[in-house]
Amino acid sequence: MKNTFGQSVSVTLFGESHGKAIGAVIDGLAPGIEVSEDFIESQLTKRRPAGKTGTARREADKFQILSGVFEGKTTGTPLCIIIPNEDTKSRDYLKTRFLARPGHADYTANCKYHGFEDYRGGGHFSGRITAALVAAGAIAISALRPKGIYIGTHVMRCAGVSDRKFENINSDLEKLNSLDFAVLDDTAKDKMIKEIEKAAADGDSVGGILETAVCGVPAGVGEPWFDTMESVLSHILFSIPAIKGVEFGAGFAAADMRGSEDNDDFIAENGKVITKTNHSGGINGGITNGMPIIIKCAVKPTPSIYKKQNTVDFSKGENAELLIEGRHDPAIIHRARVVVDSAVALTLCDMLSLRFGTDYLSGGSI
Amino acid sequence: MKNTFGQSVSVTLFGESHGKAIGAVIDGLAPGIEVSEDFIESQLTKRRPAGKTGTARREADKFQILSGVFEGKTTGTPLCIIIPNEDTKSRDYLKTRFLARPGHADYTANCKYHGFEDYRGGGHFSGRITAALVAAGAIAISALRPKGIYIGTHVMRCAGVSDRKFENINSDLEKLNSLDFAVLDDTAKDKMIKEIEKAAADGDSVGGILETAVCGVPAGVGEPWFDTMESVLSHILFSIPAIKGVEFGAGFAAADMRGSEDNDDFIAENGKVITKTNHSGGINGGITNGMPIIIKCAVKPTPSIYKKQNTVDFSKGENAELLIEGRHDPAIIHRARVVVDSAVALTLCDMLSLRFGTDYLSGGSI
Amino acid sequence: MKNTFGQSVSVTLFGESHGKAIGAVIDGLAPGIEVSEDFIESQLTKRRPAGKTGTARREADKFQILSGVFEGKTTGTPLCIIIPNEDTKSRDYLKTRFLARPGHADYTANCKYHGFEDYRGGGHFSGRITAALVAAGAIAISALRPKGIYIGTHVMRCAGVSDRKFENINSDLEKLNSLDFAVLDDTAKDKMIKEIEKAAADGDSVGGILETAVCGVPAGVGEPWFDTMESVLSHILFSIPAIKGVEFGAGFAAADMRGSEDNDDFIAENGKVITKTNHSGGINGGITNGMPIIIKCAVKPTPSIYKKQNTVDFSKGENAELLIEGRHDPAIIHRARVVVDSAVALTLCDMLSLRFGTDYLSGGSI
Amino acid sequence: MKNTFGQSVSVTLFGESHGKAIGAVIDGLAPGIEVSEDFIESQLTKRRPAGKTGTARREADKFQILSGVFEGKTTGTPLCIIIPNEDTKSRDYLKTRFLARPGHADYTANCKYHGFEDYRGGGHFSGRITAALVAAGAIAISALRPKGIYIGTHVMRCAGVSDRKFENINSDLEKLNSLDFAVLDDTAKDKMIKEIEKAAADGDSVGGILETAVCGVPAGVGEPWFDTMESVLSHILFSIPAIKGVEFGAGFAAADMRGSEDNDDFIAENGKVITKTNHSGGINGGITNGMPIIIKCAVKPTPSIYKKQNTVDFSKGENAELLIEGRHDPAIIHRARVVVDSAVALTLCDMLSLRFGTDYLSGGSI
- The answer to whether the Cβ–Cβ distance between A116 and D78 falls below 8 Å is no
- Across the C/D interface, how many CB contacts are shorter than 8 Å? 377
Q: Calculate the alpha carbon distances from A110 to A128, A313, B215 in Å.
A: 20, 12, 21
- Condensed to tens digits (0 to 9), the pLDDT of residues D270-310 reads 999 999 999 999 999 999 999 999 999 999 999 999 999 99
Q: Which amino acid appears at position C318 of this protein?
A: E
Distance from CA of A171 to the nearest CA of D (A): 34
- Across the B/D interface, how many CB contacts are shorter than 8 Å? 24
CB atoms within 10 A of CB D274: 16
Nearest to A66 among D3, D20, D74 (CB): D20
Residues 6+ apart with CB under 8 A from B38: none
- pLDDT at B180 exceeding the cut of 60: yes
Spatial CA neighbour of A194 closest among A94, A330, A350, A77? A330
Residue B251 DSSP symbol: G
Nearest to B357 among D7, D224, D355 (CB): D355
Residue D206 DSSP symbol: B
Nearest to C111 among D220, D248, D314 (CB): D220
- The answer to whether the Cβ–Cβ distance between D275 and C102 falls below 8 Å is yes
CB atoms within 10 A of CB B52: 10
Sign of CA dihedral D166, D171, D175, D176: positive
Indicate the Cα dihedral angle D110, D112, D115, D118, nearest 10°.
Answer: -90
**Contact by Cβ (8 Å): A312, A100:** yes
DSSP E strands in chain D: the ranges are 4-5, 10-14, 21-27, 64-65, 69-70, 73-74, 79-84, 150-158, 161-162, 208-215, 243-248, 266-269, 272-275, 283-284, 287-288, 293-299, 308-313, 318-323
Helix axis angle for A333-356 and A130-144, nearest 10°, is: 50
- pLDDT at D150 exceeding the cut of 80: yes
The answer to whether residue B363 is domain-embedded is: no
Distance from CA of C45 to the nearest CA of D (A): 23
pLDDT for D205 = 97
Q: Is residue C165 packed enough to be buried (19+ CB in 10 Å), middle (13-18) or exposed (0-12)? A: exposed
Contacting residues of B for D356, CB less than 8 Å apart: 357, 359
Q: Calculate the alpha carbon distances from A362 to A145, C289, D13, D26 in Å.
A: 12, 21, 22, 29
- pLDDT at C171 exceeding the cut of 50: yes
Q: Which chains touch D (3 or more CB pairs under 8 A)?
A: A, B, C
- pLDDT at B155 exceeding the cut of 90: yes
Three-state SS annotation for chain A: CCCEECCCCEEEEECCCCCCEEEEEEECCCCCCECCHHHHHHHHHHHCCCHHHCCCCCCCCCCEECCCEECCEECCCCEEEEEECCCCCHHHHCCCCCECCCCCCHHHHHHHHCCCCCCHHHHHHCHHHHHHHHHHHHHHHHHHHHHCCEEEEEEEEECCEECCCCCCHHHHHHHHHHCCCCCCCHHHHHHHHHHHHHHHHCCCCECEEEEEEEECCCCCCCCCCCCCHHHHHHHHHCCCCCEEEEEECCHHHHHHCEHHHHCCCEEEECCEEEECCCCCCCEECCEECCCCEEEEEEECCCCCCCCEEEEEECCCCEEEEEECCCCCCCCCHHHHHHHHHHHHHHHHHHHHHHHHCCCCCCCCCC
DSSP D55-113: -S-------EE-SSEETTEE-SS-EEEEEE-----GGGGTTTTTB--TTSSHHHHHHHH
Nearest to D357 among B77, B224, B356 (CB): B356
Q: Which amino acid appears at position B246 of this protein?
A: V
pLDDT for B328 = 78
- Condensed to tens digits (0 to 9), the pLDDT of residues B269-296 reads 999 999 999 999 999 999 999 999 999 9
Distance from CA of A71 to the nearest CA of B (A): 31
Contacting residues of C for A360, CB less than 8 Å apart: 357
The answer to whether residue A364 is domain-embedded is: no
**Measured distance CA(B242)–CA(C338) in Å, rounded:** 43
**Measured distance CA(B140)–CA(B30) in Å, rounded:** 10
Distance from CA of B357 to the nearest CA of C (A): 12
**Measured distance CA(D155)–CA(D134) in Å, rounded:** 17
- The answer to whether the Cβ–Cβ distance between B260 and A235 falls below 8 Å is no
Q: Calculate the alpha carbon distances from B160 to A252, B296, C109 in Å.
A: 12, 16, 54
For residue B70, the cross-strand partners are B73
**Measured distance CA(D280)–CA(D289) in Å, rounded:** 9
Specify the number of domains making up chain D: 1
pLDDT for C51 = 57
The answer to whether residue A13 is domain-embedded is: yes
Mean pLDDT, chain B, integer: 94
The ipTM assigned to this model is 0.97
- The answer to whether the Cβ–Cβ distance between B238 and A220 falls below 8 Å is no
Q: Which amino acid appears at position C130 of this protein?
A: T
Nearest to A238 among B105, B219, B228 (CB): B228
Q: Which residues of B308-331 are buried (b: 16+ CB within 10 A; e: fewer)?
A: ebebbbbeeeeebebebeebbbbb
pLDDT for D365 = 46
- Condensed to tens digits (0 to 9), the pLDDT of residues D70-104 reads 999 999 999 999 999 986 666 667 888 999 999 99
The answer to whether residue B151 is domain-embedded is: yes
Contacting residues of D for A14, CB less than 8 Å apart: 25, 27, 66-68, 77-80
Q: Are strands D161-162 and A272-275 parallel, antiparallel or unpaired?
A: unpaired
**Contact by Cβ (8 Å): C342, C133:** yes
Q: Which amino acid appears at position C59 of this protein?
A: E
Determine the average pLDDT of the residues in C277-296. Answer: 98
- The answer to whether the Cβ–Cβ distance between D66 and A21 falls below 8 Å is yes
* % of chain B with per-residue pLDDT over 70: 93
Q: Calculate the alpha carbon distances from C251 to C238, C246, C295, D257 in Å.
A: 16, 8, 9, 20
**Measured distance CA(B137)–CA(B339) in Å, rounded:** 8
Nearest to B109 among A159, A261, A285 (CB): A285
For residue B113, the cross-strand partners are none
- The answer to whether the Cβ–Cβ distance between A14 and D65 falls below 8 Å is no
- Condensed to tens digits (0 to 9), the pLDDT of residues B329-350 reads 899 999 999 999 999 999 999 9
CB atoms within 10 A of CB D224: 29
- pLDDT at C59 exceeding the cut of 90: no
Residues 6+ apart with CB under 8 A from A269: none
- Condensed to tens digits (0 to 9), the pLDDT of residues A62-102 reads 999 999 999 999 999 999 999 999 866 666 678 889 999 99
The answer to whether residue D200 is domain-embedded is: yes
- The answer to whether the Cβ–Cβ distance between C355 and A358 falls below 8 Å is yes
Distance from CA of B126 to the nearest CA of A (A): 9
Contacting residues of A for C355, CB less than 8 Å apart: 357-358
Q: Which residues of chain A are at the C interface, by a Cβ-Cβ cutoff of 8 Å?
A: 7-8, 77, 224, 354-360
What number of residues does chain C have? 366
Helices (H), D182-281: 186-201, 229-237, 259-262
pLDDT for A329 = 87
CATH number, domain of A27, equals: 3.60.150.10
Contacting residues of D for A113, CB less than 8 Å apart: 31, 75-77
**Contact by Cβ (8 Å): B110, A224:** no
Contacting residues of A for D66, CB less than 8 Å apart: 14-15, 19-21, 23, 82
* Test mutation, D118, D125, D155, D252, chain C, max C CBs within 10 A: D252
- The answer to whether the Cβ–Cβ distance between A1 and D7 falls below 8 Å is yes
CA-nearest residue to A8 within chain C is C354
pLDDT confidence of D51, banded at 50, 70, 90? low
The answer to whether residue D365 is domain-embedded is: no
The answer to whether residue C54 is domain-embedded is: yes
For residue A318, the cross-strand partners are A313
Spatial CA neighbour of A143 closest among A365, A366, A363, A292? A363
SS3 B32: coil
Nearest to C77 among A224, A357, A358 (CB): A224
Spatial CA neighbour of B286 closest among D152, A3, C230, D41? A3
- Across the B/C interface, how many CB contacts are shorter than 8 Å? 189
C-alpha count within 13 angstroms, C-beta hemisphere, residue B150:
12
Distance from CA of D73 to the nearest CA of C (A): 27
Q: Which residue range is the domain that position D333 belongs to? A: 4-356
- The answer to whether the Cβ–Cβ distance between A67 and D2 falls below 8 Å is no
pLDDT for D86 = 85
Q: Which chains touch A (3 or more CB pairs under 8 A)?
A: B, C, D
Contacting residues of A for B301, CB less than 8 Å apart: 254, 257-259, 261-262
Contacting residues of D for C250, CB less than 8 Å apart: 244, 300
Spatial CA neighbour of B25 closest among C223, A219, C25? C25
The answer to whether residue D366 is domain-embedded is: no
- The answer to whether the Cβ–Cβ distance between B67 and C13 falls below 8 Å is no
Q: Which residues of A298-316 are buried (b: 16+ CB within 10 A; e: fewer)?
A: bbbbbbbbbeebebbbbee
**Contact by Cβ (8 Å): C327, D282:** no
Backbone angles phi, psi at C283, to 5 degrees: -135, 120
pLDDT confidence of C327, banded at 50, 70, 90? low
Nearest to B224 among D8, D77, D354 (CB): D77
CA-nearest residue to D353 within chain B is B357
- The answer to whether the Cβ–Cβ distance between D25 and A15 falls below 8 Å is no
Determine the average pLDDT of the residues in B129-151. Answer: 98
- Condensed to tens digits (0 to 9), the pLDDT of residues B104-138 reads 999 999 999 999 999 999 999 999 999 999 999 99
Q: Which amino acid appears at position D119 of this protein?
A: Y
Contacting residues of C for B129, CB less than 8 Å apart: none
Q: What is the pTM of this model?
A: 0.97
| Helix (H) or strand (E) segment spanning residue B25 | strand B21-27
Average pLDDT across each block of 10 residues of chain A; the chain has 366 residues. List them in order: 94 97 98 97 89 57 95 98 83 84 97 96 95 98 97 98 97 95 97 97 97 98 98 98 98 98 97 97 98 98 96 95 84 97 98 98 70
* Test mutation, B5, B11, B22, B25, chain C, max C CBs within 10 A: B25
